[in-house]
């Protein structure tokens, strides 16, 4: 009888102890690709909207003329230098990094088709994060314990950019996306974005 009572006491004590252990252990939430993407995108959306740098080469200059973004206002004696003034539609679509409204087209020769200038689209969009992959445990600088890292693609956002300018942006030489890595850490039981690079 005494051993039966001891056995019951032991079983009860073991059950209570197991309950306390389970209650005291919080499982780490999983960081999914969609959760990671949402955290990265939230960071981009919190930043000021930015324009997109667009490299305009010889083909792009002709496309811009067809779209009536600029008009040639001066041809130089060498017959391959020219000045192009932004039209009212052009001023709505792009700005010139150096300011002003005149594109100074100065290729090295009449055969130089690689010469280009940079224009900047109107600052109305945020970068887009997508294709998050390879989420892994990783030591994150400045974070106690183990964090996580994931790879993703950052793309420029051409929503609202006029179709002719989108066409110019898709010409050879323009880089519209790039690969990056994001670091994450647990903060009060939830994952937060620490940095992107």
Domain that includes residue 62, residue range: 53-121
* pLDDT digits (tens), the chain, 197 positions: 455 545 455 544 444 444 444 444 456 789 999 999 999 999 999 999 888 899 999 999 999 999 999 999 999 999 999 999 999 999 999 999 989 999 999 999 989 988 999 999 987 788 999 999 999 998 888 778 789 999 999 999 888 889 999 999 999 989 999 999 999 999 888 999 999 99
Is the separation of the CB atoms in 194 and 181 below 8 Å?
Answer: no
Is the separation of the CB atoms in 196 and 181 below 8 Å?
Answer: yes
Predicted confidence at residue 28, as pLDDT, reads: 75
Element spanning 54, H or E: strand 53-56
| Domain contains 61 | yes
| Domain contains 173 | no
| Domain contains 107 | yes
Predicted confidence at residue 16, as pLDDT, reads: 42
Predicted confidence at residue 3, as pLDDT, reads: 52
Predicted confidence at residue 154, as pLDDT, reads: 95
End-to-end CA separation in angstroms for the chain: 69
Instruction: Mention every residue, 6+ apart, whose C-beta is less than 8 A from residue 186.
Output: 28, 29, 145, 147, 192
Predicted confidence at residue 24, as pLDDT, reads: 44
Predicted confidence at residue 5, as pLDDT, reads: 46
b/e 107-137 (16+ beta carbons within 10 angstroms → b): beeeeeeeebbebebbeebbbbbeebeebee
| Domain contains 193 | no
40: its two tokens = 């990265």
pTM check: above 0.85: no
| Domain contains 78 | yes
Predicted confidence at residue 131, as pLDDT, reads: 95
b/e 145-171 (16+ beta carbons within 10 angstroms → b): eebbbbebebebbbeebbebbbebbeb
Q: Which residues pair with 87 in a beta bridge?
A: none
| Domain contains 67 | yes
| Domain contains 26 | no
> 37: how many CB neighbours lie within 10 A of its CB?
18
Predicted confidence at residue 140, as pLDDT, reads: 85
Q: How many domains does the chain have?
A: 1
| Domain contains 65 | yes
């Amino acid at each position: 009888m005494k051993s039966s009572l001891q056995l019951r006491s032991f079983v009860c004590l073991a059950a209570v102890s197991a309950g306390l252990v389970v209650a005291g252990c919080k499982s780490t939430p999983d960081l999914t690709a969609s959760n990671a993407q949402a955290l990265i995108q939230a960071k981009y959306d919190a930043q000021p909207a930015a324009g997109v740098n667009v490299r305009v080469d010889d083909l792009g200059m002709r496309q811009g003329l067809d779209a009536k973004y600029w008009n040639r206002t001066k041809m130089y004696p060498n017959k391959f230098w020219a000045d192009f003034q932004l039209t009212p539609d052009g001023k709505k679509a792009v700005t010139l990094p150096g300011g002003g409204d005149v594109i100074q087209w100065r290729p090295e020769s009449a055969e130089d088709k690689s010469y280009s200038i940079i224009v900047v689209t109107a600052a109305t969009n945020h970068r887009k994060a997508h294709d998050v992959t390879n989420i892994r445990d990783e030591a994150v600088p400045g974070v106690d314990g183990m964090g996580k890292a994931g790879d993703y693609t950052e793309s420029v956002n051409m929503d609202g950019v006029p179709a002719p300018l989108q066409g110019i942006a898709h010409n050879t030489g323009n880089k519209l996306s790039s690969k990056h890595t994001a670091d994450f850490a647990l903060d009060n039981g939830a994952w937060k974005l620490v940095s992107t690079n």
